[in-house]
């Protein structure tokens, strides 16, 4: 599955991957070597913990490499604001409560509710995709069904 990222997020993930590959791997190797020096490996909890940490690091490296290899960097000039898409900033109104919200739709890798960035795979994000200003989106959540009216669509990268 393709992940659509901003250039900033792509650069951030690339730097994180490089850090894990260089510094993270070196630290994991040093921790294993230190634990190995402490004697019998069959009863060495420190050695087991260091090996487990190394395994987790390699898993994270693998997952991040997969995300980056399947990602596409989007630029604002490539995007159309006539319909809701990845990286659209959408102003919506709950038709029942009349409360308004502004969210930017992003890939799962960039989702951060505190920054009002929601994933396109989330219930709200998925229901908004392809909609135009004036359309309504029906969202099914664990708390029930909600309807949102699309008030505005813009591209703000």
**Are 86 and 151 contained in the same domain?**
yes
Question: What is the structure's pLDDT at 4?
Answer: 82
pLDDT tens column, 89-117: 999 999 999 999 999 999 888 899 999 99
| Mean pLDDT score of the chain | 89
**Are 68 and 98 contained in the same domain?**
no
Instruction: Please check whether residue 137 is in contact with residue 153, taking contact to mean a CB–CB distance below 8 angstroms.
Output: no
The CATH number that applies at residue 120 is 3.10.50.30
**Are 68 and 83 contained in the same domain?**
no
pLDDT reading at 40 higher than 80:
no
Domain ends where: 58, 73, 88? 73
Number of domains in the chain: 2
Instruction: Give the pLDDT mean for 19-28.
Output: 95
**Are 109 and 151 contained in the same domain?**
yes
Instruction: Give the pLDDT mean for 71-91.
Output: 86
- pTM of the predicted model as reported, rounded to 2 decimal places: 0.69
Q: Is 125 exposed, middle or buried (0-12, 13-18, 19+ CB in 10 A)?
A: buried
What range defines the domain where residue 149 resides? 76-155
Question: What is the structure's pLDDT at 42?
Answer: 67
Question: What is the structure's pLDDT at 6?
Answer: 83
Question: What is the structure's pLDDT at 44?
Answer: 74
Question: What is the structure's pLDDT at 26?
Answer: 94
How far is residue 5's CA from residue 109's CA, in Å, rounded to a whole number?
8
Instruction: Give the pLDDT mean for 14-22.
Output: 96
**Are 69 and 106 contained in the same domain?**
no
């Amino acid at each position: 599955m393709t992940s659509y990222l901003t250039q900033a997020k792509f650069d951030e993930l690339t730097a994180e991957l490089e850090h894990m590959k260089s510094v993270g791997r070196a630290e994991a190797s040093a921790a294993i070597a230190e634990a190995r020096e402490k004697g019998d490996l069959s009863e060495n909890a420190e050695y087991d913990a260091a090996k487990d940490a190394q395994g987790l690091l390699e898993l994270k490296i693998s997952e991040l490499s997969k995300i980056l290899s399947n990602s596409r960097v989007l630029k604002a000039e490539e995007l159309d604001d006539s319909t809701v898409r990845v990286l659209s900033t959408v102003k919506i109104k709950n038709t029942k409560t009349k409360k308004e919200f502004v969210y930017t739709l992003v890939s799962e890798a960039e989702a951060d509710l505190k920054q009002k960035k929601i994933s396109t795979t989330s219930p709200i994000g998925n229901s908004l995709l392809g909609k135009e200003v004036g359309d309504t989106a029906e969202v099914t959540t664990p708390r029930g069904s909600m309807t949102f009216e699309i008030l505005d669509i813009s591209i703000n990268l």
